[in-house]
Amino acid sequence: MKHILILLSALMFYPFLALAGSGGSTEPRELCLLDLQAYFSGNMHIAHSDIQGDTFVGGDAFLKHFTINGRISVGGHLLASDGTITEDAEAGSAKTSRISKPRRVKTGENFYHQNSLYHEQLVEFSDRLKSLPNTSSAEILSGKIEIVAKDDLNIVSISAYDLKRAHKLVLKGSTNSILIINVDNEGLERAEFYRMSLELEGVRAENIIYNFYNSKKLLLGMVGPVKRTYGTGIQGTLIAPHASVKFFMGVIDGGLYAKTLEDSIPTGQVDPLKIRSPRLRRMVCKQ
């Protein structure tokens, strides 16, 4: 009898011992905005466009002739047709037709907490970047904006008015240079990153952030190098926590985080490139 009691005691404590020995935890992994390829706290509309990574939509999602190359989570209603979802699709409710490759479409999900957390991270990240003191300035001459990233962390402010008028943006720096471009909307009805050439010299797209911190509307598209290469457009991540975005005829080599995506017609693509800098991730992720 004594041996049986010892055996039962060992079995009762085994799960806890195994957990402690493996370094495991019962706590879920902390959500981080920067692990997503695209995030919208409100609604998202996509037509004839792709998002090459995990996507989170706090409101409703309307997808047609599309690809989501990853997981999509939708807080409201998911209406999707004629497209591909390569990982799981989860939503409060859903209606889908002619969708290929989803592992499953799960409904009845409640993403209120997750959306609140992502939105808080986005707003705080944008506000924090905006509050950082400038380390250098942009040179603007005859419609050309040139920014040189001389330090490890570079903060530059430009106006949405100058960005809208420019026909060329040149970003220079080393491969390790982090470049934050804070864009002040200055009371314009809409900020534009549209119909212009963009050239990178040394600095890498995964280390560039365009922070449209006070824009309510944002137009994106038709941006890229003079000598086009496939899949190259706006190089860097865009954050616009209060903006309704229109994005078409273009590519984003980085994340897109905003309030809503109004449309992406005729074509728009968000490529699988994320912010991986530990310094920037620590500003957002509790890891």
Residue-wise pLDDT tens digits, 221-235: 888 777 666 556 899
Non-local (6+) Cβ contacts of 37 within 8 A are 51, 52, 53, 54, 55, 70, 255, 256, 270, 272, 274
Query: CB under 8 Å to 236, separation ≥6 — which residues?
Result: 179, 205, 207, 208, 209, 210, 253, 254
Element (H, E) at 12: helix 2-22
Alpha helices in 132-191 (DSSP H): 160-165
Can you read off the two tokens belonging to residue 133? 């003191």
Confidence category of residue 287, pLDDT binned at 50, 70, 90: low
Using the predicted structure, report yes or no on whether residue 22 has a pLDDT greater than 70. no
The set of residues, in sequence order, having a beta carbon less than 8 Å from that of 14 and lying 6+ positions away, is none
**CA nearest 155: which of 163, 147, 145?**
147
pLDDT band (50, 70, 90) for residue 265: low
Are the C-beta atoms of 161 and 143 separated by less than 8 Å?
Answer: no
Percent of the chain scoring above 70 in pLDDT: 86
If you average pLDDT over each of 35-39, 100-104, 268-272, which comes out highest? Answer: 35-39
Binning pLDDT at 50, 70 and 90, where does residue 30 land?
confident
What's the pLDDT band for 203 if we cut at 50, 70, 90?
A: very high
**DSSP code of 112?**
H
Query: Quick one: DSSP state of residue 17?
Result: H
Residue 221's pLDDT is: 86
Q: What pTM value is reported for the model? A: 0.87
Q: Can you say whether the dihedral through the CA atoms of 95, 77, 285, 232 is positive or negative?
A: positive
Pairwise CA distance, residues 198 & 145, whole Å:
10
pLDDT score at 114: 96
H-helix segments, 86-170:
112-131, 160-165
- What is the arithmetic mean of pLDDT over 61-83? 95
Q: Which of 81-90, 145-154, 211-220, 256-265 has the lowest mean pLDDT?
A: 256-265
> What is the mean predicted confidence (pLDDT) over 162-177?
94
Cα separation of 59 and 259, whole Å? 10
Q: How many CB atoms within 10 Å of residue 163?
A: 24
Q: What is the mean pLDDT of the chain?
A: 86
Task: Report the alpha-carbon distance of residue 196 to residue 214 in Å, rounded.
Answer: 22
